[in-house]
Structure 1
Amino acid sequence: MRGPHPEISGDAWADAQLLWDYHQLHHKIQSCSVIIGLGSHDLGVATQAAQLYLEGWAPLIVFSGANSPTTMERFPRGEAVHYREHAVSLGVPDSAILLETHATNTAENFEFSRGVLQAASVPIISVLLVSKPYEQRRSLATVMKIWPEVDVVCASERPSLAEYIDSIGSAKRVVDMLVGTLQRLIEYPKKGFIVDQEIPAEAIAAYERLRDSGFDSRVIRPAKPGR
């Protein structure tokens, strides 16, 4: 039986939906010191950050991100730069945006954004953290490790899994990212990169089934031993 998308079987779709739901935190939006938008291939992060600013949830936005191999073509001037341009086009004053243009991973997003805010003498008590929908939990686990003294509220756009796949244009790519993100929640605490998250057994089982059935382009492979 096929799932809602022709690339995915019904069973795989159910597993993907389980991971999609697990990765999101459904925090209640609250007023915060700053909005931090995490750079990625998804311009929806900038859209959501702009909307939250325009609704008055924070007086300032930091967009953070250089480039990754998946964003070089789409955002040739860097993720944060393109995010700012998009937010300004939606009505956010340029003066309300700070840029962090060097981060190439999530830990650096927070380390370097904190540095930008300190350099601007902006006191930070709380962060309204905007990410891709399926990166909420990992982003929270990372900021709790890197910047534990701040209170964090996580936010993202709220498409369904099917809607998000339509926006990206590839069901396999999205499911691969769900699988890769879950693997990082399992492995990264062991490396000291993030704090532990409680992962239900059914989420781990869904991850393993999807990984073993070929949704694995974002899976971190063990390093090959040197010769």
Structure 2
Amino acid sequence: MITARDWADARILWEFQRMGHAPRPCSVGVGLGSHDLGVAEVMAGLYRRGLVPLVVFTGATSPTTRGRMPRGEAVHYRERALELGVPGDVVLVEPRARNTGENIRFSRELLAERGTPVDSVLLVSKPYEERRAYATARKLWPGVEFVCASAPMNLPAYADAIGDPRLVLDMLVGAVQRLMVYPAQGFMIELSVPAPVAAAYERLRDRGFTRRLVPTA
């Protein structure tokens, strides 16, 4: 059961993860694979606004997405973007990445192989992973400016749209934990986690929202 206290703590993590960037024109848009087709929908909207001339969707499959995206996250994202009017010739698919670090590294390699100059990236992720995506990208793709974007939804609406509120809270807890432990492992830059956010994270972790935690021992 998810309690009112759990929801209150989850909102603290949700708001912390949002970077608050204003979308602006960038060299390329990179959509990070996940269970959430909303990433492709946000990217399609940004393309239609003229903010990116080229799109990369990146992602293989995971235990969470294998059933709903059997052809791979990036492939399903591309199909959704094309349904929304994005021309196929401006959408690249990177089908191998299985984590955020690989999303960034493989997208960077794909664009380098094509000879595409990149000085800025419009980075589209799930709403509760903006900060994690930003910290990872800054570590693995230096010299590039990143502008984060995601679906403009509040937490209750997002959880309803996904249809699995507990999964969303588990993912929120996992995203904040990675901000705390991954910098020391060289996976992302260090970003400070304010005390109220850390306290909310600890309460949710102790309440059992642990399915997306990474081992730390």
2:114 corresponding residue in structure 1 = 120
2:133 corresponding residue in structure 1 = 139
Q: Choose from 138, 144, 150 the match for 1:150.
A: 144
Task: Give 1:134 deviation, angstroms.
Answer: 0.4
1:189 aligns with 2:183: yes
**Residue identity matched to 1:144:** R
Q: Could you list the per-position Cα deviations for residues 64-111 of structure 1 after superposition, in whole angstroms to 9, with x for gaps in the alignment?
A: 111111111111111111110110000000001111111111111111
Which one has a bigger Cα radius of gyration? 1
Q: Choose from 55, 79, 90 the match for 1:85.
A: 79
Corresponding residue pairs, total: 217
1:27 corresponding residue in structure 2 = 21
* Secondary structure of residue in 2 paired with 1:129: strand
Task: Give 1:40 deviation, angstroms.
Answer: 0.5
1:60 aligns with 2:46: no
Q: Could you list the per-position Cα deviations for residues 17-46 of structure 1 after superposition, in whole angstroms to 9, with x for gaps in the alignment?
A: 100000111101110000000010000000
2:202 corresponding residue in structure 1 = 208
* Secondary structure of residue in 2 paired with 1:12: helix
Identity of aligned residues (%): 54
2:32 corresponding residue in structure 1 = 38
Q: Could you list the per-position Cα deviations for residues 160-185 of structure 1 after superposition, in whole angstroms to 9, with x for gaps in the alignment?
A: 10001101112211111111111100
Name structure 1 gaps, 5 residues minimum. 1-6
TM-score of the two chains, using structure 2 as the length reference: 0.98
Distance (whole Å) between structure 2 residues aligned to residue 78 and residue 13 of structure 1: 31
Name structure 2 gaps, 5 residues minimum. none
1:4 corresponding residue in structure 2 = none
The root-mean-square deviation of aligned C-alpha atoms, in Å, is 0.9
TM-score of the two chains, using structure 1 as the length reference: 0.93
1:180 corresponding residue in structure 2 = 174
Task: Give 1:221 deviation, angstroms.
Answer: 2.9
1:47 aligns with 2:41: yes
2:65 corresponding residue in structure 1 = 71
